[in-house]
Structure 1
Amino acid sequence: MSLLNRSTESSRGLHEDNDKDDKERERAREISQLPVLNLTHLECDRDSSVSVCWGNTHSPSSASWSSPLLIIRQVIMSNNSSNVCHNDSAGHNDIFRACIYSFISIVGLIFNLLALVFFFSHTKSRSQTIVYMTNLSIADVLLILTLPMRICYYLGVLDLSQWMCEVLGLVLKANMYGSIFLLTCMCFDRCMAVTFPMSHFVQEGRKKAPLVCFGIWILTFGASLPIYLSKRKEVFHKDCFDSLPVYATNPAVVLPTLFVGFGIPLVIMLICSLFLIHAVRRSSVAQTNLVDSGKIQRMIATSILIFLLSFLPYHVILALLSLHREDISCPMQVAYRYSLMLACLNTVLDPIAYYFTTDTFRRNIEVSAVRMLFPLNSQSSDVNRSRMPNS
């Protein structure tokens, strides 16, 4: 009788253990299928009914289910360490972003190609401003050529490797800061031309525009390469453009980026714009209504507004991400992605703001050109006077 009782108790214990194991498996399965969790960076078998992630190892067949808390803790840690927010990365949001990038690609490519044709067809009369704008157009075209990959990614028709994701991010950041530095140099060049039109030192310095552009290319790509080309395992990255970059929460990288990449250029542009407006108001041609000084001031203000619209949101969000790096909310990550879209939109705004208004802008505010006009008029008057018959 005692043997029968022991057998019954043993079988009951086995059933209880099996039920317990089944409950633990079901609990782990529910946790792994939660939509807010991200296990993509762990080496887990997504096709299996139950996935156990042990750092860099995975053995579902031999995994011990005696420690469900360890599994839960591993899942929670993986979720907290992930910088991916999936709440908006599916459905109409993907289509919306694909549509925006498609618009930028089509319109930006047309505008910038037309600008390049104009610039290269006027090589004989190329000024320093044209040199800066040519490089700006080339940078915009390079970025636009990478946007179709982003469009295919958001439409779900293309899987990109980690290496390709890093390269596309490198091109975007290089374009952003290359545009910032080129726009700053253009504004500074115009300020020098208007404020010191007769200075030999300024004129000689302006002739070094090609070297300045070459230095900008080296600076933008050289500063980004150490961040993006770090050696990582080659995997198909399901969150290629949805995860935050590694530097976004690193103050050692963010602070110099904010200071050198945006703060200093913004201050230079504001100071140069104030000097330009002041020079235009004090010029004799503006006082005699030979030029529309109000239109020139609106052009300057529009340039500053476009600069702020394109690049200020990204750098504000970058600063917030660095300050709250321990607790990054989903809305903050969404705002970061849309700030990148605004930065890409600059490829469309650049031609509108600079290329198609450059001739009028340069003709109206370059005091040096105006000063050169009066000696020519004086000489022509003297010639006409000498040709008049003596009475």
Structure 2
Amino acid sequence: MSIINTTTACHNHSTGQTDIVFVSVYSVISVMGLVLNVTALVIFRHTKSRSHTTVYMTNLAVADLLLVLTLPMRIYYHLGYTDLPQKLCDWVGLVLLANMYGSIFLLTCICFDRCMAVTFPMSPRVQEARKKAPLICIGVWTLTFGASLPVYLSRWNVSREEHCFETLPVYATRPVVIFSTLSVGFGIPLAVMLICSWGLVRAIRRSTAAQTDLVDSKKIQRMIAASLFIFLLSFLPYHATLGILYLYGKAIPCTLLAAYHYSLMVACLNAMLDPIAYYFTTETFRRKVDMDAVRKMLPLNSQGSIEANSKSRGPINT
């Protein structure tokens, strides 16, 4: 059985049907991801200090936001409206996957940057290298879209069945592409994150400040573990499924094809979880936020609200 026939057979079972799971989950990711990432970008825009980590986080928020903006079309498709042009579906898939791998590389950069900052805080070379964060981000965008675009363009010249988002991505069917996807796109970033997370925990435990009440080392370790857990939760099922698809070759059962689509949905959760893990839970982020600018953005800055807030704060802000 060929991949085309497999996709066609599986597609015939679901044409015109509403898949409540995909619609519900993608809707939640769309709303929450849009609100959280836009909020993060607005706050970064009004942040007084521009640290190297903030550069990575800003680009990560942009990548997650672009990914989120592709989900409404998937919701439309899973509602049973299957009349979308195939090339439009391919472009949406390209934007989603390019930004997903952009998020993976940027998360790796954030973890590596934190590790270098904590492990070698006084090294001039490290400090000089960290200043190249904008150039590294440009390299990430160039790599993700530059590597993905030729593969998708070559796919359009091949005669195939067109089933929009039901069709397997081309990198799941070509050995060379799937090997580079699993190694460069996931394996190497995962190895870097594991090593850097171990280095961060080791540096924190050896720090003299961690032995005092000035630094909550257990809290920092929990944040590192949570970030690594979110990374594995989001991307490990998806890439494991890609590996299994490659092992099956052309005879792909409908259950495995469904597993691919569900694992992609789980991977999209990362766009909603990143702001929680990397922005709003970090002490550094909260310290650098200009709270006056945040209050100006909120619709609660009337004179009455200001007076009420000033009365409620009283002598606490001393």
Classify the TM-score, shorter chain: 0.7 to 0.9
Give the match for residue 155 of structure 1: 79
Deviations 1:289-318 (A, max 9, x none): 321111111100000010001110111010
Whichever residue aligns with residue 330 of structure 1, its letter is C
Which of the residues 39, 54, 64 maps onto 1:114? 39
SS in 2 for 1:247: helix
| Distance (whole Å) between structure 1 residues aligned to residue 241 and residue 8 of structure 2 | 15
Partner of 1:100: 25
Residue 224 of structure 1 pairs with residue 148 of structure 2: yes
Q: Is residue 314 of structure 1 aligned with residue 238 of structure 2?
A: yes
SS in 1 for 2:11: coil
Inter-partner Cα distance in structure 2 for 1:81 and 1:87: 10
Structure 1 letter corresponding to 2:28: F
Instruction: Please state which structure has a larger fraction of its residues in helix.
Output: 2
TM-score, L = length of structure 1: 0.69
Which one-letter code corresponds to 1:135 in the other structure?
N
Whole-Å Cα distance in 2 between the matches of residues 356 and 163 of structure 1? 38
Alignment of 1:234-273 (within 5 A): 239-273=163-197
- 1:214 aligns with 138
Amino acid at match of 1:100: V
Distance 1:87 1:312, change over 3 A: farther
What per-residue deviation string (whole Å, max 9, x for no partner) do you get for residues 132-164 of structure 1?
010011111111112111111111236221211
> Which segment drifts farther, 143-152 or 204-213?
143-152
Q: Give the aligned CA root-mean-square deviation in angstroms.
A: 2.4
Q: Give the corresponding residue for 1:278.
A: 202
In the alignment, the residues of structure 2 paired with residue 356 and residue 187 of structure 1 have an alpha-carbon distance, to the nearest angstrom, of 16
Contact 1:303 1:353 in 2 (8 A): yes
Query: Residue 56 of structure 2 contacts residue 106 of structure 2 at CA under 8 Å; is this kept in 1?
Result: yes
Q: Which runs of 4+ in 1 moved over 3 A?
A: 76-84, 90-93, 231-235, 360-363
Alignment of 1:1-391 (within 5 A): 80=5, 82=7, 85-86=10-11, 89=14, 94-122=19-47, 124-157=48-81, 159-230=83-154, 232=156, 239-359=163-283
Larger Rg: 1
Question: Offset of 1:246 from its aligned partner?
Answer: 2.4
Mapped to 1, the partners of 2:157 and 2:175 lie a distance apart of: 25
Instruction: Report the TM-score, using the length of structure 2 for normalisation.
Output: 0.84
Unaligned segments of structure 2, at least 5 residues? 288-318
Partner of 2:312: none
Work out the CA distance in 2 between the residues paired with 1:234 and 1:278: 51
Change (3 A) 1:242 1:111: same
In structure 1, C-alpha distance between the alignment counterparts of 2:56 and 2:284, rounded to whole Å = 17
Answer whether contact 1:84 1:243 (CA < 8 A) is retained: no
Q: Distance in 1 between matches of 2:228 and 2:260?
A: 22
Of structures 1 and 2, the one with the larger relative CO (CA 8 A, separation 6+) is 2
How far did 1:174 drift?
0.6
Deviates more, 1:313-322 or 1:245-254: 245-254
Q: Residues of 1 paired with 2:166 and 2:205: CA distance?
A: 48
